[in-house]
Chains A and B, each alone.
Chain A
């Protein structure tokens, strides 16, 4: 290399052994061969073992009768006449139910705690810090055991239910809410409520356009409140109060009537919400700290009060930093909802990977279906959050 060659050098005819391209192919082929061999031997072993244990394979079990009951179900399900396939849907819906409610609650709590940790109020910031440090450093399973076994189980039995306001009863069988019944004319209230909701969203959209065009601001919050809450309430009064409630009552050793929310659900929801909220709080705090101090100082200089500064200047910019880790926290919450199996909430893992797997013995199919479901949930969630992230991302020139 020290002398400049006088004639064009032939590209080095190195031995094939040292050609990076050839080497690459060889390595990859070798890896493929190893992986292929592993898969082949696993599959052939599985076939052999299944045959030896006389376990059926394939998805035929989907239509077989289940023969067990589930206490919380969003679709009709009974021990007699329901199939394993229906059990799968019951479990999946329960997972989605607890995950979606948990995500909403954890977001609110997490944002509140995250902002509280940065508050100028010393005692509030310290309480938020203690909350985050304690919750984040304890295993979720321990927290679920705590909520279920130490808080909800020792509640009094149905005969000595704790009476909460508005006819709500709390005991060791769960939380009992009054069951609203629509009488003739009641559907009009629901209709008004839905119309009000649509109207509020439309108005918010229009107000934003107006603000962008003219700079004029409208009291969106108050008008939305009027449309969604006050208007249906007036209709309710006008129609002569057509909604009645069936209150839970003691019948024998148990309560009858009302909507029963099972303690397993409450424990799982509370556990997941508080646990994920602590992580979201840290994400929010990091996001807010990532917004440069000049932004809030400029907002103060413009005369915005602290609340308005946070809402209009800091949070919208912080969202860009917050959204990606927030997404992974949502996914974690969904995946963590599978811990339901430890306290007996009938989610996908408890019903399907637990009971159905034990009854059918078809481990490969059942575990594969369960994993496919969680993978799908993960992919769909990240897809939606990516779309949202793209909308929020900084538009550069």
Chain B
């Protein structure tokens, strides 16, 4: 027990640790956060108060206008007039609901709108296919988006004899292509002078589903697709819908998609041209790029609208919708070229030299080694250009095309829904639409940027 007595003796050293105390309120917890982030000094305090005042006065007002006092149902302006309803009226969402079909399809005939819906569905499929990182058969997706979709969209949206003719030509062209390809791939081996040095042996060891993008398969698939559309077209006989009737989001997405589909390949060609060692090619590329980037899009659209009809034989007379499409595509291509040039410049010289030392020619080097790396680096830049392009589609309003913004403006002068709050509602709806599209694209670009930077993180 001697031990025990010594233990019972007065010890002033604590033998077990106390539970940890909470940090004082001045350095942790919400109060400290408020002090550090809102009231850390006289200037900050004033700023906080001013900002808080702005938020407190404007935010409830906005919520009240767009949600609490808003009118959600109704069939004409009476639903949204304060004197008819007998209460303060905010946003008139009933107007948006009533005119929604017009905002989406414009004046496209009601019985034919299923065609637009099919194109929308194909567009969505293509977008998801290309953007979803782990999607299978990416190259097939690219073929779908950049070749099949534009052609099918043209045939489906326009219809009529023009589309049927195009279809006929396409089938003939595909058959011809297939024939040429057959001859080129068999004849040389038969004649015995084809060395086949450029073809990488690796290709033949790929599993079958990865060989899908090879020319033979592509031609086959195009044939099948065109054949299906042709059968569909023959059995239903799509009536022609003039482009003058197209409108709304359909046209907005159409212009954006055409801009994307044409500006990307054109931009690649221009960027390669600008980096070329051949002086004339380089000069022409530089002139085109710098010229287009130096002028506003509106002047390009005016040029396409007024000068394009002058530059082609009179009997061609390009369609009213085609003119701004050409303008937008060329305009976007110049900006795209500069983005892609940045990517090309970022590829180390060793990659070029390595490719050349493998015996690859210029086009094979670019296609197999340089461009896949360069385009991957500049995906954020490309998406930024797309965002700019999407916002710029609104400018076609000025040359008389009924895009989404124009349909909003058109409904605002319509007396059916003329109320004091219609305009605020229409603009809010347009803002939501454009914001969701652009913001979504920028989020995607940020996520890609993160994924690409994963290699640099340690």
By a beta-carbon cutoff of 8 Å, the part of chain A in contact with chain B is: 24, 27-28, 31-32, 35, 41-42, 45-46, 48-50, 52, 119-124, 127, 133-134, 136-142, 145-146, 149-150, 335-336, 338-339, 341-342, 349, 353, 357, 363-364, 367, 370-371, 374-375, 378-379
A342 to B395, CA, bound (A): 9
Does A46 contact B391, Cβ atoms closer than 8 Å?
no
Does B435 contact A370, Cβ atoms closer than 8 Å?
no
Given A49-B309, A137-B435, answer yes or no on A371-B314 (Cβ-Cβ < 8 Å). no
**Using a CB-CB cutoff of 8 Å, which residues 251-290 of chain B contact chain A?**
277-281, 284
Which residues on B sit within 8 Å (CB–CB) of A138? 391, 431, 434-435, 438
Q: Which 8 A-B pairs have the closest CB atoms?
A: A363-B306, A335-B296, A42-B311, A137-B438, A122-B37, A378-B294, A139-B391, A28-B280
Per-residue CB proximity of B74-110 to A under 8 Å, as 1/0? 0000000000000000000000000000000000000
Which residues on B sit within 8 Å (CB–CB) of A150? 423-424, 427
Looking at B17-25, B191-199, B211-219, B297-305, the stretch in contact with chain A turns out to be: B297-305
Residue of B48, B424, B427, B439 near A121 (CB, 8 A) is B48
Does B278 contact A27, Cβ atoms closer than 8 Å?
yes
**B228 contacts chain A at the CB level, 8 A cutoff:** no
**B208 contacts chain A at the CB level, 8 A cutoff:** no
Does B52 contact A123, Cβ atoms closer than 8 Å?
yes
Of the listed residues A138, A139, A367, the one surrounded by the most CB atoms of chain B closer than 10 A to its CB is A139
Does B281 contact A28, Cβ atoms closer than 8 Å?
yes
**B295 contacts chain A at the CB level, 8 A cutoff:** yes
Which residues on A sit within 8 Å (CB–CB) of B391? 138-140
Does B47 contact A367, Cβ atoms closer than 8 Å?
no
Which residues on A sit within 8 Å (CB–CB) of B311? 41-42, 45-46
Residue of B52, B303, B434, B438 near A371 (CB, 8 A) is B303
Does A367 contact B302, Cβ atoms closer than 8 Å?
yes
User: How far apart are A31's CB and chain B's nearest CB, in angstroms?
Assistant: 6
Residue of B51, B55, B394 near A142 (CB, 8 A) is B394
**B189 contacts chain A at the CB level, 8 A cutoff:** no
**Using a CB-CB cutoff of 8 Å, which residues 378-431 of chain B contact chain A?**
387, 391-395, 397-398, 405, 409, 412, 423-424, 427, 430-431
Q: Which residue of A lies closest to B298 (CB)?
A: A338
User: How far apart are A341's CB and chain B's nearest CB, in angstroms?
Assistant: 6
A36 to B435, CA, bound (A): 44
Which residues on A sit within 8 Å (CB–CB) of B314? 45, 48-49, 52
By a beta-carbon cutoff of 8 Å, the part of chain B in contact with chain A is: 36-38, 40, 44, 47-48, 51-52, 54-55, 277-281, 284, 291, 293-299, 302-303, 306-307, 309-314, 387, 391-395, 397-398, 405, 409, 412, 423-424, 427, 430-431, 434-435, 438-439, 442
Does B310 contact A50, Cβ atoms closer than 8 Å?
yes
Does B280 contact A349, Cβ atoms closer than 8 Å?
no
Does B296 contact A338, Cβ atoms closer than 8 Å?
yes
A50 to B47, CA, bound (A): 63
Which residues on B sit within 8 Å (CB–CB) of A27? 278, 281
Q: Which residue of A lies closest to B427 (CB)?
A: A146
Which residues on A sit within 8 Å (CB–CB) of B393? 139
A349 to B399, CA, bound (A): 12
Does B55 contact A363, Cβ atoms closer than 8 Å?
no
Which residues on A sit within 8 Å (CB–CB) of B277? 24
Does B299 contact A371, Cβ atoms closer than 8 Å?
yes
Known: A48-B313, A50-B310, A145-B409. 19 other contacts (CB 8 A): A24-B278, A28-B280, A31-B280, A45-B310, A46-B310, A48-B314, A121-B40, A121-B44, A121-B48, A122-B37, A123-B38, A141-B394, A142-B427, A142-B430, A338-B298, A349-B298, A364-B307, A371-B299, A374-B299
Does A341 contact B398, Cβ atoms closer than 8 Å?
yes
Query: 26 A-B residue contacts at CB 8 Å?
Result: A31-B281, A41-B311, A42-B311, A46-B307, A50-B310, A52-B314, A121-B37, A121-B40, A122-B37, A123-B51, A124-B48, A137-B439, A138-B391, A141-B397, A142-B405, A142-B427, A145-B405, A146-B427, A335-B297, A341-B298, A341-B398, A363-B306, A367-B299, A367-B306, A374-B299, A378-B295
A46 to B308, CA, bound (A): 9
User: How far apart are A226's CB and chain B's nearest CB, in angstroms?
Assistant: 25
Does B299 contact A137, Cβ atoms closer than 8 Å?
no
Which residues on B sit within 8 Å (CB–CB) of A28? 278-281
Q: Which residue of B lies closest to A116 (CB)?
A: B47
A146 to B427, CA, bound (A): 7
Which residues on B sit within 8 Å (CB–CB) of A364? 307, 310
Does A349 contact B435, Cβ atoms closer than 8 Å?
no
A341 to B297, CA, bound (A): 12
Which residues on A sit within 8 Å (CB–CB) of B312? 42, 45
Does A137 contact B38, Cβ atoms closer than 8 Å?
no
Q: Which residue of A lies closest to B282 (CB)?
A: A28
Q: Which residue of B lies closest to A361 (CB)?
A: B306
A134 to B97, CA, bound (A): 24
Does B47 contact A335, Cβ atoms closer than 8 Å?
no
Does A120 contact B40, Cβ atoms closer than 8 Å?
yes
Does B298 contact A31, Cβ atoms closer than 8 Å?
no
Does A375 contact B398, Cβ atoms closer than 8 Å?
no
A209 to B366, CA, bound (A): 54
A336 to B297, CA, bound (A): 8
Which residues on B sit within 8 Å (CB–CB) of A50? 310
A45 to B312, CA, bound (A): 6
Which residues on A sit within 8 Å (CB–CB) of B48? 121, 123-124
Which residues on B sit within 8 Å (CB–CB) of A374? 294-296, 299
User: How far apart are A191's CB and chain B's nearest CB, in angstroms?
Assistant: 38
A50 to B52, CA, bound (A): 63
Does B294 contact A379, Cβ atoms closer than 8 Å?
yes
A361 to B405, CA, bound (A): 28
Which residues on A sit within 8 Å (CB–CB) of B297? 335
Does A32 contact B280, Cβ atoms closer than 8 Å?
yes
A31 to B281, CA, bound (A): 7
Given A137-B439, A140-B391, A341-B298, answer yes or no on A363-B310 (Cβ-Cβ < 8 Å). yes
User: How far apart are B454's CB and chain A's nearest CB, in angstroms?
Assistant: 20
Which residues on A sit within 8 Å (CB–CB) of B36? 120
